[in-house]
Amino acid sequence: MAEVVTFAKEGSVGVITVNNPPVNALSQAVRAGIKAGIAKGMAEADVSAMVIICDGRTFIAGADIREFGKPPMEPHLPDVCQFIEDCPKPVVAAIHGTALGGGLEIPLSCHFRIAVATAKVGLPEVKLGLLPGAGGTQRLPRVAGVQAALEMITSGTPVAAAKAKAMGILDEIVDGDLKAAALAFARKAVDEKLPLRRVSRLAAKLDTPTVFEDFAKANARKFRGFLAPYKCIESVKNAAELPFAEGMKKEREIFLELQASDQSKAQRHVFFAEREVVRIPGLPDDQPTRAITSVGVLGAGTMGGGIAMCFANAGIPVKLLDVKQDFLDKGLAIIQKNYANTVAKGSLKQEVMDKRMSLIQPTLAYEDLKDVDLVIEAVFEDMAIKKEVFTKLDAVCKPGAILASNTSYLNIDDIAAITRRPQDVMGMHFFSPANVMRLLENVRGARTSPDVYATAMKIGKTIGKVPVLVGVCDGFVGNRMLAKRTRECGFMLEEGALPWQIDKVIYNFGFPMGPYQMGDMAGLDIGWRNRKAKFSTLSDREKKNTILDKICEMGHFGQKTGSGFYKYDEKRNATPDPMIEELIINHSKDVGITRRTITDQEIVERAIYSMINEGAKILEEGIAARPLDIDVVWLYGYGFPVYLGGPMFYADTIGLGKVYDAILKYRDLVGAEYWTPSPLLEKLAKAGKGFYSK
């Protein structure tokens, strides 16, 4: 028996203990050890019952990710689970920490399950584009009922012990020593001759005859585009309709089908990319960082207020500075309202809200920032204003304080150059709303010290963000690529498309909304202001594409004015605007472009492939160190569909040869100024390789 699993006798009870740090993952050695432990307990006459328990901070928290993508090794988990269930002696699972995935499938195959009150159980496989493949979809509906099983399996969200007991997953919640309670429970099972509850022999309880159809319909919006949730529903349906052995056979078939799917490969890529992105190439994992115990935020507007909330949520005191008391009052009122809404929904306790509000201290004086460890400015996106702010910060902030800008596209090196401490200056680009969006685009300047950007990555994790380190260029990674999509969509409006066609195609591709819906929601005046700020850098064709200018000049800024690209009713429901259609058609005539039919396929290619080509240039220039950095930016900042894995992973999925050929096609159609293949993309495509298989 492998040493990660031990067997010991405590009187007449055999105790099988898993000790596979850090999370007792279900490696081949653990699976073999558990099976061997059960066999040993069955073989020894003086063992009347068994307990499966784990050392360390948690019960089995899932599969061993080091075995992902490798050929499965015996014993296979479904066989181990069946072996446990078939044991003629009582087997008790004793759970603490989290029992996730296979770590819940093991207890479900035991005859009894107990847990400490702080334990959580769940089946998160759907988040990897999979379903629980060792009986989870067959056993859970038999103990918890179909509705509860559907909710748990398709969401992948763990449930707390109290709820798990109410659902029938747990038999008992214990106070005090888990092992002692498990031994007592096992002895009680023997002494009282409790019938062994073999889950496979129970019936899956249907809540209503149409539960599966109703559930799929109710969650259609949430499951949009995803394959795995629907396959999970299918497998749970099999549990209700087929004998257990047949349901298990079907579960295995569906698991293998999902495992081989592009979606699961993409979702597994996302899982690993999110963990890898925080590691900075070229820096050791133990790179020293600076302590951040207090933060200053400049600007109490939407962004500044959201950023302040991020730090308050993590228990870090914030000095929130603005130039007028009115601005501070308004900003604090919005922060208070945001927290109050969360309290009203029951997701936050009032005392927690009060504590967080107390951590945000308003001020009108730069002098009050003299002792903070980190300052993030979130003022107007104007270089002259930014430089003025940083000059003041440089004068008052203590040596070693990190000075960060929340700019979304301005040059960090230019900002750093006006300070006496360029090594302490960097970009920390939060996404709106900052207290909700998970991406943090950390921008390393040419002279930024490694311990400064390492600190920004670390503090990003502390405040619950997914931080990505990028270099300096116009728009960094996300907005630089978005600019290419915006340009192509604008050109397609001139050439024959309409906003609602483009929006529908981008939505169907998997984004939460299309570019024109998004513009209307954010406020077209923001995009218009950015266009005017960058006007001198635009090409002649871009300068002449005045569709946005004309709409904004009419005072139509989107939802907030009741009209933009769309018309809006009092509930902000959008309908296509015939006036905008006429405006676009007349614009095409004015600039001498004959409109034509633009297919949905062309919209996808021009919108998405233009971004992929720009992503390749970003890699060539070293603005992003790895393709995964780009993917994570787009997944967490711009709503790129998770089941496609990010733009660079998606490019590999469809094949770089296909992308390259399309770029050449649009070079001939639109012009080489806009469509010239990146040398990196061309090289990889011609070699039959991808961004992840160089």
* Residue pointed to by tokens 């009894």: 112
Amino acid symbol at 690: G
Q: Are strands 318-321 and 425-430 parallel, antiparallel or unpaired?
A: unpaired
Burial profile 379-409: b = 16 or more Cβ within 10 angstroms, e = fewer: bebeeeebbebbebbbebbeeebbbbbbbbb
Amino acid symbol at 484: K
DSSP secondary-structure letter at 608?
I
Which token pair is 279?
């590691």
Treating both helix axes as pointing N-terminal to C-terminal, what angle do 211-218 and 146-155 enclose, rounded to 10 degrees? 30
User: What would the DSSP string read from start to end of 122-157?
Assistant: E-GGGGGT---TTTHHHHHHHHH-HHHHHHHHHH--
Element (H, E) at 402: strand 402-405
CA angle 587, 591, 592 (to 5 degrees): 110
Element (H, E) at 172: strand 172-174
Q: Measuring CA to CA, how many Å separate 190 from each of 169, 270, 385?
A: 21, 47, 76
Which token pair is 452?
């400064």
510-517: long-range contacts (C-beta < 8 A, 24 or more apart)?
510/224, 510/225, 510/640, 510/641, 510/643, 510/644, 511/638, 511/639, 511/640, 511/641, 512/639, 513/639, 515/485, 515/486, 515/489, 515/607, 516/489, 516/564, 516/565, 516/566, 517/565, 517/566, 517/574
Nearest to 547 by CA among 594, 589, 510: 589
Q: Is residue 105 among the annotated active site residues?
A: yes
Q: What is the 3-state secondary structure (H, E, C) of 511-538?
A: CCCCHHHHHHHHCHHHHHHHHHHCHHHC
Q: What is the 3-state secondary structure (H, E, C) of 425-448?
A: EEEEEECCCCCCCCEEEEECCCCC
Q: Are strands 159-160 and 172-174 parallel, antiparallel or unpaired?
A: unpaired
DSSP secondary-structure letter at 76?
P
Element (H, E) at 298: strand 295-298
- Rounded-to-integer distance, Cα 690 and Cα 110, Å: 45
Which token pair is 431?
């996404």
Catalytic residue among 3, 44, 105, 488: 105
DSSP-assigned beta bridge partners for residue 466: 439
Nearest to 427 by CA among 384, 461, 460: 460
Q: Measuring CA to CA, how many Å separate 258 from each of 120, 129, 157, 621, 694?
A: 26, 7, 19, 36, 26
Element (H, E) at 568: strand 566-568
C-beta separation of 103 from 24 below 8 A: yes
Catalytic residue among 85, 125, 251, 614: 125
Q: Is residue 125 among the annotated active site residues?
A: yes
- Rounded-to-integer distance, Cα 43 and Cα 541, Å: 82
Residues annotated as catalytic are 105, 125
